[in-house]
Amino acid sequence: MDLTLIVVVVIVTALLFDFTNGFHDTANAMATSIATGALRPKTAVIIAGALNLVGAFLSVEVARTISSGLVDDTRITPVVIFAGLVGAILWNLLTWLLGLPSSSSHALFGGLIGATLVAAGTGAVHFGAVVTKVLLPAVISPVLAGVVALLATYLAYRVTATADDGTVRKGFKAGQIVSASMVALAHGTNDAQKTMGIITLTLITAGVLAPDSGPPFWVIASAGLAIALGTYMGGWRIIRTLGKRVSDIETPQGFAAETASTAVILASSHLGFALSTTQVATGAIFGAGAGRRLSTVRWGVAGQMALTWLVTLPAAAVVGAAAAWAASTGTAGTVIVAVVAVAVAVGIYAASRRRPVTAENVNDVPAATPAPAEQPIPA
C-alpha cells in the first residue's frame, strides 16, 4: 500500500480512537457531578468537551513518552500502528457497551504492543519503559487516588459535621463544578496527548518527522478536537456505572473524588507518566465512597472493574496482534482488517441501541441494586 495513503489511514484511525477515548472517559470528570446533580448532564459534557480541548494544548510530556518510549520506532511501520489502534478501538467500544470504565490508555498500549510483537518481535518492545512508564503508574495511581479521596472525604465529613447542612451542600456542589472542570482539563492534558503521541510516532516511522520529534501544532489541534467531540457525545453507560453503581455519591464525596483525581493526573502528566485517567477517577470514587462508610461501596462492582482492568492490556494486545498478522499479508489484509473492524463497531453500536442510556435516563439505576443505608460518620 502507498505509504502516504497508509499514513493518512493511520492518522484518521488514531483520531477515531481519540474520539472513542473521549466518550469513554467523559465519566472520569463528570460522573459524580451528574450523579449528585451539581451539573445537568448536557451542561456537564459541554464543559468537559471544551476543557479537554484546552487541556490538549497545555502539555506534550506524555505525547513524547508514547512517541519515543514504548516501542522501537525504527522497527515498526504505520501498518503496525494501524493494527494496534484497531485493537484499542474495538476494546474501547466493547467495554463501553458493557458500561465498564476500562482504561483507554491500556487499550492503546496493549494494541500497540501486541501489533509490534507480531510484526517486529519482542526486541522491538521496550519492556523496561512499559513497566516503568505504564504498568507501575497503573498499579500505583488508582490506589493513590483512592487513598487521597478517602482521607479527603473523611476530613470533609468530620470538619463540616457541625456546620449548616444547606451551606455545606451548596458549597460542595459549587466546588464540584470547579473540581469536575479541573478533572476535564487534566484529562485533556493527559489523554489527548496519547493520540498526539501515536500520530507523531506514525509520522516518525514514515520518515516525515525526525526521531524524538515532538507533535506538530496540527497534530495537537486535531487530537484536541477529536477528544473534545468524543467527550461531548458523552459515554452515558459508563457515567451511570461510575456515578450510580459504585456507591451513592454525595456532594462532599464527589468534590473529594474529583480533587483527588485532578491532583494525581496533573502531577503525573507534569512528570511524563502516561497513567490511566479512568483508573485514577475510578479509584478516587471508590476511595470517596469508603471515606464516608466502607459499606456504602458496592464491592462486587469493584471486582468487575478490577477484572476488566487486568484483561484490558492483554485483550487489546491479542486483537492488535491478530490485526497486525492479517495486515502483514499486504494491502488486501489491511483492507480486510479495516472492514472487519468497521463491521464489529457497527454491530456494537447496534447492540447498544437495544437498551440505550442517554442524558435523560443516565441517573436511573435498576432497583435490583439498592444502595446501603446512609450512615454519616459521627463527629
Please tell me whether residue 139 binds other proteins under the rule CB under 8 A. Answer: no
Query: Which residues does residue 71 pair with via DSSP β-bridges, in sequence order?
Result: 125
Closest approach of Cβ 249 to other proteins, in Å? 14
Enumerate residues 167-186 that contact other proteins by CB under 8 A. Answer: 167-168, 171-172, 175, 178, 182
- For the beta carbon of residue 360, count every other beta carbon within 10 angstroms: 11
Element (H, E) at 374: none
* Cell representation of residue 52: 479537554
Enumerate residues 46-85 that contact other proteins by CB under 8 A. Answer: 58-59
CA atoms within 13 A on the CB side of 18: 33
Residue from 160, 213, 304, 328 binding other proteins (CB under 8 A): 160
Q: Which of 217, 181, 230 is nearest to 55 (CA)?
A: 181
The site map against other proteins for 243-282 (x = CB under 8 A) is: ---------x--xx--xx-xxx-xxxxxxxx---------
Q: Are 282 and 264 in contact (CB under 8 A)?
A: no
* Inter-CA distances, 4 with 8, 78, 200, 207, 373, Å: 6, 10, 15, 11, 60
Please tell me whether residue 377 binds other proteins under the rule CB under 8 A. Answer: no
Residue from 5, 74, 121, 159 binding other proteins (CB under 8 A): 159
Residue from 92, 104, 153, 193 binding other proteins (CB under 8 A): 153
Enumerate residues 217-236 that contact other proteins by CB under 8 A. Answer: none
Piece in contact with other proteins (CB under 8 A), picked from 18-26, 141-149, 292-300, 350-358: 141-149
Q: Which of 292, 273, 291, 40 is nearest to 140 (CA)?
A: 273
Measured in Å, how far apart are the chain's first and last C-alpha atoms? 69
* Cell representation of residue 229: 467531540
Residues that bind other proteins in the complex, under the rule CB under 8 A:
58-59, 127-128, 131-132, 136-137, 140, 144-145, 147-149, 151-153, 155-156, 159-160, 162-164, 166-168, 171-172, 175, 178, 182, 189, 252, 255-256, 259-260, 262-264, 266-273
